[in-house]
Amino acid sequence: MENKQVEIILRNVQEIGQKLKGQRNFKIDQKSGIQDLVTSMDKNTEIALRQCLREVTPDCTFIGEEGTQEMSKKVWIIDPIDGTTNFINSQEGYAISLGYFEDAKPVLGIVYDVASETLYHAFDQRAYINGIQVLDLPEIRSLSESVWDAGMATMHKNPKLFDLCRITRGHRELGSAALAIIKVALGKLDFYVTENAKCWDYAGGIPFLKACQGTYWMRDDFFTCTPNLVVVARDEEVLEQVKSYLK
């Protein structure tokens, strides 16, 4: 993929994202339950993303949360709105997230924080925020100094994680896997744990994390479309410590 292609894709993602901001005229449906929601904007956004991506990379396939899923040597993995509940409730903390992979290796990762109009992307092993390369990151903190993110469903499935609340500086629940991964990459969080991630939840953020020298572990295959246990951290020592609190 060439820089010009990346520029076109980034511009299209921002334009599509702007159509989400302030949008209130949409239909809401449940998928697996009241905490697993989808809107007509999720579906329309994925259709728009697929259309523009197909024009730039015509020989690709797609794995999308709201559309068909077809793995190939050149594949886009799309989450049109990561943090749908935040979007529905007019809160911050939702993003367009997508990653492009060739031969199962990351080429481009994009996370667009719609509410703040902040575009994160990773390409050629470099991380960028609104087009400016990320060069300086905070020092790595120990487990006891950590502020971290995990949803309540994940906590209840792995009850030893509640012990971490007592020995760390703080626990958060952002409601967006993609944005949580970005925050870990930038040192705003120290680790993130989720029991329910599917590949579209992390495909946009993991390339950014790796470009910022972060690390991750997952129970199942990276490209799974079924719930996966995932731990994202700033360094291996904290990652291994967190894993010891999982079932």
The reply to whether 117 and 40 lie within a common domain is yes
Tell me whether residue 138 is in a domain.
no
Give the domain-ending residue among 133, 156, 190.
133
- Let me know if 135 is exposed, middle or buried by CB neighbors in 10 A (0-12, 13-18, 19+): exposed
Would you state the pLDDT for residue 91?
A: 80
Considering the domain architecture, whether residues 128 and 147 belong to the same structural domain is answered as no
**Do residues 86 and 168 both lie within one domain?**
no
User: Could you tell me if 67 and 12 lie in one domain?
Assistant: yes
**Do 129 and 148 fall within a single domain?**
no
Q: Are residues 55 and 117 both part of a single domain?
A: yes
Q: Are residues 20 and 58 in the same domain?
A: yes
DSSP state of 24: -
Q: How far are the Cα atoms of 17, 19, 70, 111, 130 from residue 117, in angstroms, in the given order?
A: 8, 12, 30, 11, 9
The residues, ordered by sequence, that sit 6+ positions from 218 with a Cβ below 8 Å of its Cβ are 197, 228, 229, 230, 231
Number of domains into which the chain is organized: 2
Q: Which residues of 211-231 are buried (b: 16+ CB within 10 A; e: fewer)?
A: bbebbbebeeebbeeebbbbb
CATH number of the domain within which 103 lies:
3.30.540.10
In this structure, the answer to whether residues 233 and 148 fall within a common structural domain is yes
CATH number where 175 lies: 3.40.190.80
| Same domain? 213 vs 119 | no
The tens place of each residue's pLDDT in the chain, 247 residues long, gives: 899 999 999 999 999 999 887 666 666 765 665 555 466 777 888 999 999 999 999 999 999 877 778 999 999 999 999 988 888 777 889 999 999 999 999 999 999 999 999 999 999 999 999 999 999 999 999 999 999 999 999 999 999 999 999 999 999 999 999 999 999 999 999 999 999 999 999 999 999 999 999 999 999 999 999 999 999 999 999 999 999 999 7
CB 52 within 8 A of CB 12: yes
Q: Which two tokens stand for residue 32?
A: 């697996």
175 and 206 in a common domain: yes
Kindly state the helix (H) or strand (E) to which residue 199 belongs, with its residue range.
helix 199-202
CA distance 96 to 98: 7
From 133, 157, 174, the end of a domain falls on 133
- The whole-model pTM stands at 0.93
Domain that holds residue 197: 143-243
Q: Which of 133, 152, 183 is at the close of a domain?
A: 133
